[in-house]
Amino acid sequence: MESKKYSISLSRFALLVLIISGLSKGAVAADTAKKIERLKDAVVKIHTTSTPPDYFTPWSLLNAKQSSGSGSVIRGNRILTNAHVVADATYIQAQKHGDPRKYLARVAFVSHEADLALLEVEDPSFFKGLRPLKIGDLPEPLQEVSVFGYPFGGTTLSITKGILSRVEHQFYAHAGGYLLAGQIDAAINPGNSGGPVIVDNRIAGVVMQANTSGRAENLGYFVPPSVIKHVLKDAEDGQHDGFPDLGFRSQELDSPAMRQAYGVADRRGGMLVAHVFEGSPADGKLLPNDVIVAIDGYKIADDSSIEFRKNLRTNFKYAIDQYHRGDNVDIYLVRAGEEMKVTLQVAPGHRNYSLVRPQQFEQIPQYLIYGGVVFVPLNMNLIKRWGRDWHRQAPVSFLHARNSRSSTEKQELVVALKVLAADVNLGYHDWKNWILSSVNGEPIRDFEQFCRLVLENQHEFTTLLDDQGYQMVINHAEAVATEAQILARYRVPRANGCQLTSESEPQGLR
């Protein structure tokens, strides 16, 4: 009898355990669902109308286009998204999950290099009831992540899952920045851009454009937390300083002969300083043929990589990317067999060390029409005007010029883009995409100086020369006299788009 009672008690206990377990699982499920809803509320859809300039006809704009992207609400009532989602935007709206209303927004800060932007919404009620997301840490390889966003093909929020497959420095597709990036196998489509990659209810990345030249791949890329945090700190004073460039270029040092020649054959790692730019933070402190063995405590391998996390390696630039304007960076090197340390102070990364300027946004293109010839500075905006396949479609001379280093004497290249046919330029009607080197024997330093040389010309003729000795000669008086007629014929509003920095422009074309 007692055995029977004991059996009944056990059954009741087991039933009680099952009930409690079920309640516990239900509570966990309810809590998880609540957290997901909070995440959904913090992910917004961004509607953009953009009107970029046409660098083939720099006095005009391309047709306005509408696009959409994603973003997430972070601390300070700001929306974190991609820079390319709002680049060249003339009108921006933000829309909350489950809310049909669209709120007017504006760009508060943008880092095109890192493909990140911060938006503000004018109506404070937009943020009512929203819990901002915190910035988390970089996931571990093979760790599962969730991607939130509003991809094309629907209007509601989409959530996909994947794993982190790779982390290393990549060239960002938007503006060509070379920064740390994460790669995941989650499904990412147009419209997902700017949406958060979530791990443990925190932002572990921001989805960005893939640099795949249009090839379809089952891969997605995101801006990692270290880059996000750098941009957020940069934004604190409202002034864009960007990521530092200390002003030197390096070469891998995996050749045994080179290691022996530069006195590091008996040690592992290191990279060779190949060039130091004049006026840069490295000028006068680093020398060509120095062997850099460590930066800020990160040992550099002979392939120029560092271990930034256990068993994870990336380009040495990671050690520099963490710094901001005014910070000091310790460089450990070997010079002529002697070990030493030098300290470089980070300066804003505004100087361009290439003759081809990087792609710019929200800028008015510079140009000069003189004698019916359209002159422009050579930059990535112009090169990318050849379309998504610009790597093969743009002029070869333009592509080669990207590898040319700037100097104090030569900081920018000037191009005769095309000729608006007229009597004054007879003989040159088919000239196009021609890179110049001098004006009346004066070497061209940059586009502003080029404009001054042309507009202040006191000679009868303006002789334009390239590096191969080919010439274009224009009668100056005739160029000035026929300017209005040429502008009217080709419906160009003005000839001078040089944007000279001095308060008084030189006398000449207007």
Domains of the chain by residue range:
1-241, 248-345, 367-497
Query: What's the DSSP call for residue 115?
Result: T
Could you tell me the two tokens for 179?
């920064």
pLDDT of res. 348: 74
Confidence of residue 36 (pLDDT cuts 50, 70, 90): confident
Q: What is the CATH number that goes with domain 248-345?
A: 2.30.42.10
pLDDT of res. 352: 82
Share of the chain above pLDDT 70, in %: 89
* Residue among 75, 85, 82, 174 at smallest CA distance from 134: 75
State whether the Cα torsion 401-404-408-410 is positive or negative: negative
Q: Which residues contact 344 (CB under 8 A, 6 or more apart)?
A: 246, 281, 282, 285, 286, 328, 329, 331
Could you tell me the two tokens for 90?
């003339």
pLDDT digits (tens, 9 = 90+) for 199-232: 999 999 999 986 654 444 568 999 999 999 999 9
pLDDT of res. 7: 53
Q: What average pLDDT does range 21-31 have in this prediction?
A: 55
* Residue among 209, 329, 336, 231 at smallest CA distance from 280: 329
- State how far the Cα of 433 lies from the Cα of 489, in Å rounded to an integer: 22
pLDDT of res. 38: 83
Mean pLDDT of the chain: 90
Torsions phi, psi of 284, nearest 5? 85, -10
Could you tell me the two tokens for 9?
């008690």
pLDDT of res. 11: 63
Could you tell me the two tokens for 252?
């891998």
Q: What average pLDDT does range 462-472 have in this prediction?
A: 97
Q: What is the CATH number that goes with domain 367-497?
A: 3.20.190.20
Residue with tokens 């989602």: 85
State if pTM tops 0.85: yes
pLDDT digits (tens, 9 = 90+) for 37-67: 888 899 999 999 999 999 999 999 999 999 9
Residues serving a catalytic function are 84, 115, 193
- Answer whether residue 432 shows pLDDT above 70: yes
Determine contact, residues 89/107, Cβ cutoff 8 Å.
yes
- State how far the Cα of 402 lies from the Cα of 159, in Å rounded to an integer: 40
pLDDT of res. 187: 74
Determine contact, residues 206/81, Cβ cutoff 8 Å.
yes
Cα–chain center distance at 261 = 38
Q: 367 burial class (0-12, 13-18, 19+ CB within 10 angstroms)?
A: buried
- State how far the Cα of 493 lies from the Cα of 510, in Å rounded to an integer: 10
Q: What average pLDDT does range 160-168 have in this prediction?
A: 93
pLDDT of res. 509: 44
H helices of 223-363, in order, are 225-234, 256-261, 317-321
Could you tell me the two tokens for 325?
């304007």
Determine contact, residues 43/36, Cβ cutoff 8 Å.
no
Least confident of 17-31, 63-77, 86-100, 165-179: 17-31
pLDDT of res. 270: 96
Rg (CA), the chain: 29
pLDDT digits (tens, 9 = 90+) for 307-364: 999 999 999 999 999 999 999 999 999 999 899 999 999 987 667 889 999 999 999 9
* Residue among 215, 143, 227 at smallest CA distance from 186: 143
pLDDT of res. 506: 46
* 20 vs 76, higher pLDDT: 76
1-241 maps to CATH 2.40.10.120: yes
Q: CA separation (Å) from 343 to 294, 303, 329, 330? A: 12, 23, 5, 5
pLDDT digits (tens, 9 = 90+) for 184-194: 988 788 889 99
Q: Are strands 43-50 and 78-81 parallel, antiparallel or unpaired?
A: unpaired
List b or e across 439-461, with b for residues whose CB sees 16 or more CB atoms inside 10 angstroms.
beeeebbbbbbbbbbbbebeeee
Q: What average pLDDT does range 409-427 have in this prediction?
A: 97
Determine contact, residues 400/93, Cβ cutoff 8 Å.
no
Q: How many CB atoms lie within 10 A of CB 237?
A: 10
| Residues β-bridged to residue 496 | 368
- Answer whether residue 2 shows pLDDT above 80: no
Indicate the residue type of 455. Answer: L
